[in-house]
Structure 1
Amino acid sequence: MLEGWVIVLAAAGALLAGISKGGFGGSLGFASSAILAVVVEPGVALALMLPVLMAIDLAAVRAYWGRWHAPGARAILTGAVPGLAIGAALFFVVSSDVIRVLIGLIAVAFPLFRLAMARGLIANRPKVFDRRKGWLAGMGVGFASFVAHAGGPPFAVFMLGQEGVDKTRYHATSVMVFWVVNALKAVIYAVIGLFTWQTLGWSLALIPFALVGTYVGVWAHKIIPERLFFAVTYTALALTGLKLLHDGLL
């Protein structure tokens, strides 16, 4: 049975995921899982938030249907399958503390990655499409998505360098790729026993918070400076990652 304050924290995480998706690009959807992993088993945190993230993306898939970069999406999804398999295998051979460390590393690295992109340290100059690089990026997407719902960085590194990918095509590709990846994850989570009737019930209860967050995000986008939102959220995420590293290593 989950403690009441854990559910409150999960509701806040779902709200944050919705706000991020509704007004700030959706890149922080995984933060809720990282925060929850501080207070519950990582597998429980991941299982709680996956249906919530899937619900947030469901409407976006329909809105952006057919507008994605097909070669890039195929390459990433091809690589994502073995990446998901590697992530699933970890749950059978490592402890919860190792998963906490992995989530913590991603939580700390993510703000650094976004800062490097903002400062131009990670180049996104258009390149000739390379399917093999897409496969490698896809493996990173699958693995990071499985262990932390955080496949965004390897996706961004690959897709931002593709010719002819404007903002709409980039977002459409992201929505479609992670819709498929999350559906595959849901099957694997069910097979390896991460889902329980209790977690699924709580996930359904959290979905309204995510949907409210989406509307709040649309509103907040108009009045809250993007830099302020990300500065506060990335700071909190980095601190969460450090806490997970502390708990996992000590």
Structure 2
Amino acid sequence: MKKTILIVLLSAFLVSAMAVPALAQDLEVGVQVGDWFKYETKVTQWESEMEFLPPDFFGPLTLAENQTNYILYTVTDITPVAGGNNVTFTVTYNWKNGSVTEGTYVETVSTANQQIFMIGANMEEGDMVSDTFDFLGMGFFDYPPRYLNASIDREYLDETRDTNVCEYYIEIFGTPYTYTNMWDKATGMRAYYENHGDVPESMWSQAYTYTVVWQLVDSSVEGLVIPDLTGPVMVLTLIAVTIPIVLHKRKTLKH
């Protein structure tokens, strides 16, 4: 069943409905139409008195992140726009119940991009991947800019590839979140993503603690195939090269 949906990836709650920064840096697109990227994703930690993702859940997780065998992103269009390029993907969800669904996702390759599922190709350590923006567009909190704080060698099945890393910690309305983002340098595509949050009880839900992981496991791009042991090796490498950067900035509310 095909349907067009706006996929907000892992940030349906954390980075949605926000104003786009006024200035955006043009970045190189490292993919072409026809390229595909296959991901496995899983919620590796869920601690709460409530069931996993109840029907009225409002938060940073989706069922697709724990009930799919894989999610396949295929590039179908690349269109220049002001300040960057829009890359359109057909997203195929292969569900554990045997069904397959499709959606459409558009990623803007620009520093105005708040999702950063994909970044510019051939970026360097210290480069900004996402500019600051007003979280929720309500003037309560400025989401800080995010920068590449490491570049590492990542082992794939047949070769070693340059990989860009952005690790950071942030508090949003008193809730702490930590992020590890890794992108293949040549393509700018997500290679690994981990998000951990310790969310207190709120008007939307009971308290819960979670960790979710995405990993690129296969691709039409030569060399982008992940061996089974890459995960542990990668984690050890990250520990050795970088410490999460604390990014925390609040606006003073006007009375």
Common fold, TM-score beyond 0.5? Answer: no
Instruction: Please report the TM-score for the alignment, with normalisation by the length of structure 2.
Output: 0.23
Instruction: Please report the TM-score for the alignment, with normalisation by the length of structure 1.
Output: 0.24
Q: Could you say which structure has the higher helix fraction?
A: 1
Structure (1 or 2) with the larger CA radius of gyration = 2
Q: Could you say which structure has the higher strand fraction?
A: 2
Q: Which has the higher contact order (CA 8 A, sep 6+)?
A: 1
